[in-house]
């Protein structure tokens, strides 16, 4: 091939392994990703790549596996400011006696900005390229994400009671719609309505959320069936389990992204399947708060889309999606009594493509496919802890740690370069959040 036929591109990444997630269970050895204008132009054997493309920016990652950037499908980023504030407590005691009072006292725009900066830095260093957020002052979270260059699904919070962000459900909705309009053409910021939970949002606001979500075609992101007490209280107060109430309100649909779902009966699983509802599994937060176990294996068997989230650092206490993948896979086996439940490749898909599907972003991100955004995470497997490598997907899910994430790209921009953040000032972030 003559030199004149070699195409000049923005950047090229050569890697030992590339795990595209689509097709499922696929691993390419000694392949390369070609990036042009923030998107994946090509994925091909390195030998062919060297003859077809050239670039002034080449990354030669001989001991690394490339995976799609991890998608944290449920978190409260700013609650990183509350990490370790109130540990070893059940959910409602933790919320009502510690977290909610702290929020009344502390939460304002700058508090959310500082906490989200901290969370984004942690997530990027752990290989996360997209997060789905739910918290007050989502405008501050948007600012943090925009400055860092990370992809975010911005939660348009809705709750019945007043906060420093809004005085009532009407104002929450009004401000949310303004933010949606502000960012609707942004390449990295999408939006989702984020009514907090069935016990904090009444029927009227939920009906409004449904109308607006359908009109704007954006997700509805909500905590649901998180604990046994939540379900029992709902039955006592409304005569219905929350899922039954949501069905009556017309909320069960492919736009609904339900978080936790530890209390599910078989007929409710059938309802989720028939309506195309998404589930976000937060195994470590559920275990720490003793909220219960999501029946992930049964959901997967019913072809319900299950994604993974960390929850906030106040109840986890980290935003480590690699750890969360491992917990999701292992817990599914223990809960179902089936060692083959949620194999490593399924856990990786839950942490990438399934999250993108839940957020309506799967045409953009979630897999290393031609034409999708170059949202990429590189994991160095040439470490004592991950040798020898019989199968790289298993090593990533069952053996690796977030410290092995060396490089991260979002839309082709190199945000973590050999463990160094390129768009964030680590020292300044720590100074801003120190007690």
Percent of the chain with pLDDT over 70: 99
Phi, psi of 406 (to 5 degrees): -100, -35
| Residue 1 pLDDT class (50, 70, 90 cuts) | very low
**What is the reported pLDDT for 212?**
98
Instruction: Tell me the pLDDT of the chain averaged across its residues.
Output: 97
**What is the reported pLDDT for 317?**
97
Q: Which domain holds residue 91?
A: 70-358
With a cut of 80, say whether residue 232 has pLDDT above it: yes
Mean pLDDT for the stretch of residues 281-295: 97
pLDDT per residue over 5-28, tens digit each?
A: 899 999 999 999 999 999 999 999
Residue 435 forms part of a structural domain:
no
Percent helix, percent strand, percent coil in the chain, to nearest 5: 40, 25, 35
pLDDT per residue over 40-93, tens digit each?
A: 999 999 999 999 999 999 999 999 999 999 999 999 999 999 999 999 998 889
The domain that contains 384 carries what CATH number?
Answer: 2.30.40.10
Domain boundary among 358, 378, 408: 358
Mean pLDDT for the stretch of residues 410-422: 98
Separation of alpha carbons 356 and 53, rounded Å: 29
Domain boundary among 334, 358, 382: 358
- Indicate if 219 and 85 belong to the same structural domain: yes
Mean pLDDT for the stretch of residues 287-312: 97
| Residue 307 pLDDT class (50, 70, 90 cuts) | very high
Percent of the chain with pLDDT over 90: 97
- Indicate if 133 and 270 belong to the same structural domain: yes
- Indicate if 100 and 179 belong to the same structural domain: yes
Does this model's pTM top 0.85? My answer is: yes
- From residue 210, give the alpha-carbon distance in Å to each of 75, 141, 172, 276: 22, 24, 14, 15
Mean pLDDT for the stretch of residues 90-106: 91
- Indicate if 228 and 141 belong to the same structural domain: yes
- When divided into structural domains, the chain yields a total of 2
**What is the reported pLDDT for 435?**
83
pLDDT per residue over 158-206, tens digit each?
A: 999 999 999 999 999 999 999 999 999 999 999 999 999 999 999 999 9
- Indicate if 204 and 229 belong to the same structural domain: yes
- From residue 297, give the alpha-carbon distance in Å to each of 160, 268, 433: 34, 15, 39
- Indicate if 139 and 257 belong to the same structural domain: yes
């Amino acid at each position: 091939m003559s030199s004149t036929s070699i195409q000049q591109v923005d950047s090229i990444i050569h890697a030992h392994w590339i795990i595209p997630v689509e097709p499922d269970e696929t691993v390419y050895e000694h392949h390369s990703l070609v990036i042009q204008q923030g998107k994946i132009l090509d994925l091909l054997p390195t030998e062919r790549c060297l003859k077809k493309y050239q670039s002034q920016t080449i990354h030669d990652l001989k001991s690394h596996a490339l995976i799609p950037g991890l998608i944290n499908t449920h978190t409260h980023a700013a609650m990183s400011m509350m990490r370790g504030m109130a540990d070893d407590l059940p959910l409602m005691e933790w919320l009502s006696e510690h977290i909610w009072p702290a929020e009344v006292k502390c939460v304002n725009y700058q508090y959310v900005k500082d906490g989200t900066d901290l969370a984004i830095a942690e997530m990027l260093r752990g290989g996360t390229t997209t997060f789905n957020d739910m918290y007050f002052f989502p405008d501050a979270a948007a600012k943090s994400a925009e400055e860092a260059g990370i992809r975010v699904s911005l939660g348009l919070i809705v709750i019945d009671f007043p906060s420093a962000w809004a005085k009532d459900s009407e104002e929450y909705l009004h401000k949310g719609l303004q933010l949606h309009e502000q960012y609707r053409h942004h390449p990295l910021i999408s939006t989702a309505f984020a009514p907090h939970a069935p016990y904090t949002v009444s029927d009227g606001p939920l009906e409004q959320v449904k109308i607006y979500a359908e009109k704007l075609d954006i997700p509805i992101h909500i905590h649901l069936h998180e604990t046994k007490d939540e379900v029992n209280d709902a039955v006592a107060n409304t005569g219905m389990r929350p899922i039954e109430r949501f069905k009556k309100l017309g909320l069960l649909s492919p736009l609904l992204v339900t978080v936790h779902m530890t209390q599910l009966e078989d007929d409710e699983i059938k309802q989720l399947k028939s309506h195309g509802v998404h589930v976000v599994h937060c195994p470590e937060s559920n275990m720490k708060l003793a909220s219960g176990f999501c029946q992930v294996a049964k959901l997967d068997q019913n072809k319900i889309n299950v994604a993974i989230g960390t929850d906030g650092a106040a109840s986890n206490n980290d935003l480590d999606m690699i750890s969360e993948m491992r917990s999701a896979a292992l817990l599914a086996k223990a809960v179902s009594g089936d060692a083959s439940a949620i194999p490593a490749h399924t856990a990786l898909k839950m942490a990438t493509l399934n999250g993108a599907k839940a957020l309506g972003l799967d045409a953009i991100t979630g897999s290393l496919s031609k034409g999708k955004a170059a949202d990429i995470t590189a994991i160095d497997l040439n470490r004592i802890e991950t040798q020898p490598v019989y199968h790289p997907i298993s090593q990533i899910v069952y053996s690796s740690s977030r410290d092995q994430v060396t490089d991260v790209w979002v839309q082709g921009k190199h945000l973590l370069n050999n463990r160094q953040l390129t768009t964030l000032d680590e020292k300044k972030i720590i100074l801003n959040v120190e007690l």
